[in-house]
Structure 1
Amino acid sequence: MIKQIIELSRAAGKAIMQVYTSEQPLVFNKKQDTSPVTAADLAAHQVIVSGLQKLTPDIPILSEENPPGWDLRQHWRCFWLVDPLDGTKEFLRHNGEFTVNIALIENSKPVMGVVYAPAMDMVYAAANCKAWKVDASNHWLELSVKESNPPLVVVSRSHGNNQKLHDYLTQLGEHKTITIGSSLKFCLVAEGRAQIYPRFTPTNVWDTAAGHAIAIAAGAQVNDWHKKSIDYTPRVSFLNPGFQVSLLF
């Protein structure tokens, strides 16, 4: 099924790029939490939800753009977790660092994930404990984390200026840093280009699930600051705790 999910992510990416490359201004509104939402978010949402309903009609869907109420999802054990356009701020800045995120959650764990960067036409995917990078020519490269000394730390382009992160990097010792938007940060660790992704500012479950699946399939760990693995058990709040993506030691 991973190939079908990849094709679905590409279809959503095509809908996003139609808005992204339009000569019309990128009009957006703000949701209740003040985060931006554009026509591209909504178009990708429709493509993904329609495709998943046809592919797996018995598996419920939790999408950022239409999250079901707690009464409907509190007993879910298997569900799709979707961010139709992760990195809307990067989309609005026109820097290409935005993604389509689709993950399958089973018993609180992300067991399948696809992250598609439509502006780069690059797919990252994970299933059956393996992770791959798939280019525009449909060449599949299996991913594995790689050590580096000093380590390369990837930080959020939109949320990288905070005191906790500054203190963390100071205590880390010798290192290099790179900034990038969206769930591509997980993917850089998965493919061995970076070794650590620390996160102190808020994220929601749909921001992380697909990247989480890819990172752990490539040999990384995704733990909160108490060294407990991030899980996706349905809960009232969609917020994640702070976390760190890093190599297994």
Structure 2
Amino acid sequence: MIDLSDLVDAALLGGREVMRVYAGGFETRRKADDTPVTEADHASERVVVAALARIAPGVPVVAEEAASEGRVPDHAERFILLDPLDGTREFCQRSGEFTVNIGLVENGVPVAGVILAPALGLLYAGRLGKGAFRAAVDADGVAGAPEPIATRRAPSALVVAASRSHGVEAASAFAARLPVERFVQRGSSLKYGLVAEGAADLYPRFGRTMEWDTAAGEAILVAAGGGVLRLDGSPLGYGKRGRADAIDFANPDFLAYGDPALVARLFEAG
């Protein structure tokens, strides 16, 4: 078994590289899909992939920057999804709301995950059946004591997590039929952390995401008591390749939630 603590250590290595670049000057380039990329993306990916090779020899790693260049390893029941810098836009804007995401997938299901927000000094992690936690991370990239987290029972008025830059109007329209107290906007995969720790109740996501964006967050959220479903109520699923209607590893719209009873009522109501 791959230890969650080893995945945490790998993410911390990536976070140190990200912050090294963040502290200095950097150039932003555009990839073929017109998304931004910086040296921080590549530096983080290099050190995390090397760490994962030591931690889990023989387990394929599907990493965002390698995949964008067409380098995708063969994989089957067990593989790792890596986003070395989720929220590159936020990184370039220096908002601090960017993360390193590592998710372990088995039989199409994320079973362990780590989300590290190095500029915020915050880490989330979890393993299916073992629970989830958050921890503070100091300026040297060292994680403190873990604090267990769990989702909450949905209150009468909901807190909805939303992206700062993607699908905001569609998420607002979806939430318009719900009793909403307020929206909380966060960049990158930090929305999963909000729901997992009970600071938000729903995260509806519209528009394309990739599996390396979501695997770590889904693993943590499920470990904390919540879940992720497509808008038709089916699982999101991982390792999606060879489809006629979507590029490899792309996700459909989905709903991340904290209280299973709430989402059951939503799907029953249509």
Match of 2:65, SS state, is coil
Check the 8 A contact 1:132/1:143 in 2, yes or no: yes
Could you say which residue in structure 2 is the equivalent of 1:242? 253
Q: What amino acid is aligned across from residue 126 of structure 2 in structure 1?
A: A
Q: Can you list the C-alpha shifts for 1:115-168, whole angstroms capped at 9, x where unaligned? A: 000001211001242111122362111111013331100000011433x32321
Displaced runs of 4+ in structure 1, greater than 4 A? 68-72
Q: Tell me the number of residue pairs that the alignment of Structure 1 and Structure 2 aligns.
A: 245
Match of 1:180 among 170, 186, 191: 186
Check the 8 A contact 1:203/1:239 in 2, yes or no: yes
Deviates more, 1:82-91 or 1:233-242: 233-242
Pair 1:138–1:36, CA change in 2 (3 A)? same
Q: What pairs with 1:56-67 in structure 2 (closer than 5 Å)?
A: 56-67=56-67
Check the 8 A contact 2:158/2:179 in 1, yes or no: no
Match of 1:175, SS state, is strand
Distance 1:219 1:151 in 2: 17
Could you say which residue in structure 1 is the equivalent of 2:50? 50
Q: What amino acid is aligned across from residue 19 of structure 2 in structure 1?
A: M
Check the 8 A contact 1:190/1:220 in 2, yes or no: yes
Check the 8 A contact 2:101/2:216 in 1, yes or no: yes
Q: What pairs with 1:156-235 in structure 2 (closer than 5 Å)?
A: 156-162=163-169, 164-235=170-241
Distance 2:54 2:160 in 1: 40
Could you say which residue in structure 2 is the equivalent of 1:2? 4
Check the 8 A contact 2:239/2:249 in 1, yes or no: no
Match of 2:168, SS state, is coil
- Give the TM-score normalised by the residue count of structure 1: 0.94
* Structure 2: 5+ residue stretches without partners: 138-142, 243-247, 262-270
- Give the TM-score normalised by the residue count of structure 2: 0.87
Distance 1:112 1:39 in 2: 27
Distance 1:106 1:48 in 2: 20
Q: Can you list the C-alpha shifts for 1:88-111, whole angstroms capped at 9, x where unaligned? A: 000011000000000111100101
Deviates more, 1:204-213 or 1:52-61: 52-61
Q: Can you list the C-alpha shifts for 1:6-30, whole angstroms capped at 9, x where unaligned? A: 11111110100011111x2x31111
Pair 1:29–1:201, CA change in 2 (3 A)? same
Distance 1:176 1:93 in 2: 25
